[in-house]
Structure 1
Amino acid sequence: MKKSIIIYLFSLLIYDILVLFYRIDIRFKFVIIFAILISITGIYLSSDIFTDVAAKIGKKLEFSGKTVGILILGIASVFDEIVMSLMAALEGHGEISFGSIQGSNTVVMLAFFIIIPFYYMKTLKTYRLDAVFILASSIIILAFSFIYEDIPAYIGIIPMIIFIIYFYIINRKNVKTNTAPEFEDYPYIYGLISLLVIVLGSYAMISSAIVISDIFNITSFFASFILLGVFGSIPEITMVGISLHRHRVGESTGLITGSTVYKNTLVFALAAFTSELTLKNSYFSIILMLIISIIFLIITVFAR
């Protein structure tokens, strides 16, 4: 079984490398659906495998479930957004870069709200600090939108500082545990290959978003918000589903809150440093994320 999985992962990796060198554009619009399906499949399978590898790393380091979610899965799950945002910014598609960040955050947080009553009510109060960082970073992005249409590179320093502070606090608050989580014992190399598939598969999604925006004559931001937002959230949603199925609630919550903070800070900052990040046509998404952040903070405050 593991041998067939590694062969499949290598096949997906080769496909992603080919897409990287032979970019899909409007001339090849007939393969868009095929490209999207392969990218989704690759990201989904790789997210599944990486979740187990992360649990294995967490067990070795005696991390708590929350810490595994925030420091390992959270960082890994935003690698695809980092790649999408950086590649889009480098190619001059600042709207796509920001749209992927906002879309993915919105999808993940809305999914979180739906399943809160079933899994998270008893643990929500422990994520109050995370909620504060999500809200603070959302307010800062809203402030940026009033001042800038294109974010200057130096502005990326602000969200980067917030990311460093958050990461430092979370790392200090880690509680060691000897509890062994349930996971499939994949070799570490599987985790590395899975991460590569997630990262390179994300690039194919950028090409798809650009082509779809051309075909339907819609703004690049809306194409990325809907397409990259939904598909870019696949790693998080997959990892959350696997963690919940294996009764690792703290891990899944940490993944959601951690990845949301990372996208509002780290991913935003890196995209700003790379090229001009464009906030044009994005006000509705910024306000929506701010509302979601406020609701989440209120829930954590009143959680028992």
Structure 2
Amino acid sequence: MFLTVVLLVVGIALVLLGADKLTDGATGLARRFNVTEMVIGLTVVAFGTSLPEFVTSFMSALKGSSEISIGNIVGSNTFNVLMIVGCSALVSPIVISKSTIHKDIPFAILATLSLIVVSLDAVLDGGQFENLISRTDGLMLLGLFAVFMFYTFSIARNKDGAGEQPQALQIAPMSYGRIFLYVILGLAGLVFGGNLFVDAATEIALSMGVSETVVGLTLVAAGTSLPELATSIVAARKGSSAIAIGNVVGSNIFNIFFVMGFCATVSPMPVGSISYFDLGLMLLSVLILWCFSYTKRTIERWEGGVMVAVYLVYLAYLIHQA
């Protein structure tokens, strides 16, 4: 068990390091090709912080642990909104732009509803109906991802959106050699780290008698959301509210449309014991974010405290059920 825990920690470290280096390399590459910082922020950075979820879910799907894969997405999105936005608001109140309220958060709600709908698909297996996210569902999610990307690049062409570029992304040009090194090291860290993480988490779940669903919704979800947590809290502390909230909203959309869509397209995924309660709370968390955003277009510290409290109650519920 001690060795398994060590491998789990090493896996988390490699995934986080890999995501960090790959994001740096991809950002440097984008700037080398004169891509605007708005596009980098809405695509490369959002995708970079979602890479741990992608690798972990993809590895889990390939190993037949679909409950960890789906639980990782559902748990990560719930954790992203309630814990990351909540903790960021506790550090410093988060100012929300009109564009985020009227366009970005509704897109995140659409993504959440899409995942719930495809999770309700039922197929006949062994004389019993089983909920399954099929390849058709996966292709539909990837299609919605393409729509989101088109929307993002449309914003980049809008002169009004050009003034909202993330300040934290203003970095010095990077050499091609360094870009290549970062991308290779990042991919290696993500692949090997994700593999170690999935194996260790599955073994711990089996040895403790805890279902893979609970592990995916809690341990794996929190571990793969660490990049978002660190980015948003640092951004909030530096007063970059747009980065703090944009990171979470963008990552949630990527997790569902791209990560779940890609994984389901490669291998159809049984929903398993992911409950309607888990899916409902994921939706409720985004609706809470949307409602709090309308109060003076700011998420106050007390609202952040409410979001953190809701997640802790949910965590206690999962532990009790386990």
Q: Do the two structures share a fold, i.e. TM-score over 0.5?
A: yes
Shift of the 229–243 alpha-carbon distance from structure 1 to 2, 3 Å rule, reads same
2:127 maps to none
> TM-score w.r.t. structure 1 length?
0.78
Shift of the 180–256 alpha-carbon distance from structure 1 to 2, 3 Å rule, reads closer
Shift of the 68–145 alpha-carbon distance from structure 1 to 2, 3 Å rule, reads same
**1-structure distance, mates of 2:264, 2:284:** 24
Counterpart contact for 1:70–1:251, Cα < 8 Å:
no
Secondary structure of the corresponding residue to residue 226 of structure 1:
helix
Give the aligned length: 275
Q: Does residue 257 in structure 1 map to residue 225 in structure 2? A: no
Counterpart AA for 1:89: A
Q: Does residue 188 in structure 1 map to residue 179 in structure 2? A: yes
Secondary structure of the corresponding residue to residue 78 of structure 1:
helix
2:78 maps to 106
Overall identity of the aligned pairs, in %: 20
Counterpart contact for 1:99–1:224, Cα < 8 Å:
yes
**2-structure distance, mates of 1:243, 1:58:** 21
Q: Does residue 89 in structure 1 map to residue 80 in structure 2? A: no
Structure 1 range deviating more: 151-160 or 169-178? 169-178
Q: Does residue 282 in structure 1 map to residue 274 in structure 2? A: yes
Map of 1:129-168 to 2, 5 A cutoff?
Answer: 129-148=103-122, 149-168=131-150
**1-structure distance, mates of 2:20, 2:60:** 26
**1-structure distance, mates of 2:86, 2:292:** 10
**1-structure distance, mates of 2:148, 2:251:** 12
Counterpart contact for 1:87–1:203, Cα < 8 Å:
yes
2:226 maps to 234
Structure 1 range deviating more: 270-279 or 178-187? 178-187
Instruction: State the Cα RMSD in Å.
Output: 2.8
1:42 maps to 14
2:259 maps to 267
**2-structure distance, mates of 1:56, 1:44:** 18
**1-structure distance, mates of 2:54, 2:69:** 9
Unaligned segments of structure 2, at least 5 residues: 123-130, 298-322
Shift of 1:298: 2.3
1:15 maps to none
Shift of 1:302: 4.5
Counterpart AA for 2:137: I
Counterpart contact for 1:150–1:277, Cα < 8 Å:
yes
Structure 1 range deviating more: 175-184 or 238-247? 175-184
Unaligned segments of structure 1, at least 5 residues: 1-28
